[in-house]
């Protein structure tokens, strides 16, 4: 049983509580039944990304141990919109939106989960029949003070941004899902902490044993900072073509290498120690990114597909006529930019190639100078900007480099970017 706990707890950021989990596992074993392990699906887009794959893989760990995965599709709660981590009201979805997204979702889910041990439920099944009286009874089991404990609400109120009444109901209805399916355990990202705790507390109010909640770390999006999310368009889908997946992963900032090895490439403790050792030695981070990208593509496709994706990436890099690092350092007309931590890509490009007060950067003609930061953003959106041959599509991309890299803007602008000492 200790071994089971160790495997199930691996990679978990917080568990409430580990002792409760051990007790539930022992009880289930004694009764000859499996635990019901709940995970909510926020079907806001038609694809599953590497960030959502983190709790899905933990759910698969439970399935491997003989337990049942209970996936809750929030077709009812999607009409409210999850406010977790949001600085403004989230767009609401119709049931038709959710159903269209789920048509593609199910196929992707079973690239990770075991179909025979998976139960998929829609929360409209029990939330819609509540009616006015049932909703009032449900709301009577939780207080406004408890709901307003969540940081995203208080932050918005302090900033003078509105919090609408329907948003206050989201944690209650999500928590009621746990009551409806009699969840033993609920998984989620760490940003879901309050929603998960509401479920635990509502189960007590309804006379059920309180679920264990297990929170997983959040995988940051491709530009760093914000979590990977379809809403932020900073994600890698698990059904992206291998070459696209590989190319996107090569674009991450250097400071995310460890995180992506652990959460996306599923590196174990020994492998993570080796990654940290290589980073500390000053090895080119690009080599580590390539290894990580091969591993991730291999997980969702095959080792052969990963090798082909890497070859395609190298081919495209060469086609783009991006000079080699050793060549660019010998070219006097190529500007060198030393970057402090957390520098915005838009600012870097405009500082290097922008036309300022009638002047232009040394080595560049006025006709090639960029006229405004708005033009920089347009170039990024058009796919005309790349770092080390990887196109950057995020206008909010923030640098965090630890080694020299080559920036290309359009067909004729190159720069060597160097981390600030």
Looking at residue 87, its pLDDT comes to: 41
- pLDDT band for 164, please (50, 70, 90 cuts): confident
Task: Name the average pLDDT for the chain.
Answer: 84
Domain match, 21 and 110 both: yes
Domain match, 308 and 332 both: no
Domain match, 151 and 194 both: yes
Q: Is residue 87 part of a domain?
A: yes
Cis peptide before 3 (omega within 30 of 0): no
Percentage with pLDDT > 70 across the chain: 85
Domain match, 179 and 257 both: no
The region of weakest confidence among 144-158, 182-196, 218-232 is 144-158
- Domain housing 143: 2-216
Q: Is residue 156 part of a domain?
A: yes
* pLDDT tens figures, 297-312: 999 999 999 999 999 8
User: What average pLDDT does the segment 63-80 reach?
Assistant: 87
Domain match, 340 and 300 both: no
What is the domain count for the chain?
3
Domain match, 368 and 279 both: no
- pLDDT band for 358, please (50, 70, 90 cuts): very low
Domain match, 53 and 154 both: yes
Q: Is residue 55 part of a domain?
A: yes
The answer to pTM > 0.85 is: no
CATH code of the domain in which 405 resides: 3.10.290.10
Domain boundary among 259, 287, 319: 319
Q: Is residue 141 part of a domain?
A: yes
User: What average pLDDT does the segment 35-54 reach?
Assistant: 87
- pLDDT band for 403, please (50, 70, 90 cuts): confident
Q: Is residue 221 part of a domain?
A: no
Domain boundary among 281, 301, 319: 319
Q: Is residue 93 part of a domain?
A: yes
- pLDDT band for 27, please (50, 70, 90 cuts): very high
Looking at residue 214, its pLDDT comes to: 97
Q: Is residue 104 part of a domain?
A: yes
* pLDDT tens figures, 109-127: 999 999 999 999 998 899 8
User: What average pLDDT does the segment 10-39 reach?
Assistant: 94
pLDDT at 63 > cutoff 80: yes
Domain match, 82 and 149 both: yes
Domain boundary among 319, 350, 378: 319
Looking at residue 333, its pLDDT comes to: 56
CATH code of the domain in which 45 resides: 3.40.50.620
pLDDT at 86 > cutoff 60: no
Looking at residue 359, its pLDDT comes to: 47
Domain match, 277 and 200 both: no
- pLDDT band for 367, please (50, 70, 90 cuts): low
Domain match, 296 and 347 both: no
Looking at residue 334, its pLDDT comes to: 66
User: What average pLDDT does the segment 166-170 reach?
Assistant: 79
Distance CA 420, CA 405 (A): 13
Domain match, 330 and 298 both: no
- pLDDT band for 387, please (50, 70, 90 cuts): confident
Domain match, 56 and 163 both: yes
pLDDT at 351 > cutoff 90: no
- pLDDT band for 364, please (50, 70, 90 cuts): very low
* pLDDT tens figures, 9-18: 999 999 999 9
């Amino acid at each position: 049983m200790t071994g089971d706990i160790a495997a199930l707890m691996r990679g978990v950021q917080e568990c409430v509580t580990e002792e409760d989990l051990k007790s539930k596992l022992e009880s289930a074993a004694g009764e000859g039944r499996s635990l019901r392990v709940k995970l909510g699906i926020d079907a806001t887009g038609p694809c599953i990304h590497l960030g959502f794959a983190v709790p899905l893989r933990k759910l698969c760990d439970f399935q491997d141990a003989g337990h049942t995965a209970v996936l809750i599709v929030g077709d009812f709660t999607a009409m409210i919109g999850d406010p977790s981590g949001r600085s403004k009201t989230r767009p609401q979805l119709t049931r038709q939106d959710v159903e269209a997204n789920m048509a593609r979702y199910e196929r992707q889910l079973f690239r990770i989960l075991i179909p025979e041990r998976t139960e998929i439920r829609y929360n409209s099944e029990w939330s819609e029949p509540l009616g006015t009286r049932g909703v009032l009874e449900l709301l009577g089991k939780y207080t406004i003070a408890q709901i307003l404990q969540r940081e995203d609400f208080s932050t918005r109120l302090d900033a003078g941004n509105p919090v609408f009444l329907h948003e206050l109901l989201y944690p209650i209805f999500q928590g009621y899902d746990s009551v409806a399916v009699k969840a033993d355990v609920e998984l989620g990202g760490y940003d879901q902490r309050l929603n998960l705790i509401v479920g635990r507390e509502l189960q007590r109010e309804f006379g059920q044993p309180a679920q264990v909640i297990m929170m997983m770390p959040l995988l940051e999006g491709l530009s760093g900072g914000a979590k990977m999310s379809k809403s932020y368009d900073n994600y890698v889908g698990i059904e992206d073509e291998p070459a696209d997946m590989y190319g996107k992963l090569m674009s991450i900032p250097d400071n995310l290498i460890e995180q992506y090895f652990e959460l996306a490439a599923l590196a174990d403790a020994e492998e993570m120690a080796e990654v940290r050792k290589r980073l500390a030695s000053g090895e080119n981070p690009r080599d580590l990114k390539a290894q990580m990208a091969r591993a991730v593509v291999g997980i969702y496709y095959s080792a052969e597909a990963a090798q082909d994706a890497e070859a395609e990436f190298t081919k495209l890099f060469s086609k783009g006529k991006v000079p080699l690092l050793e060549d660019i350092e010998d070219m006097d007309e190529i500007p060198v930019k030393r970057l402090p931590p957390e520098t915005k890509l838009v600012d870097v490009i405009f500082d290097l190639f922008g036309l300022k007060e009638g002047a232009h950067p040394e080595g560049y003609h006025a006709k090639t100078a960029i006229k405004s930061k708005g033009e920089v953003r347009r170039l990024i959106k058009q796919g005309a900007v790349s770092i080390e041959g990887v196109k950057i599509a995020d206008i909010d991309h923030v640098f965090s480099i630890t080694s020299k890299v080559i920036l290309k803007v359009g067909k004729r602008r190159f720069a060597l970017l160097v981390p600030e000492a």
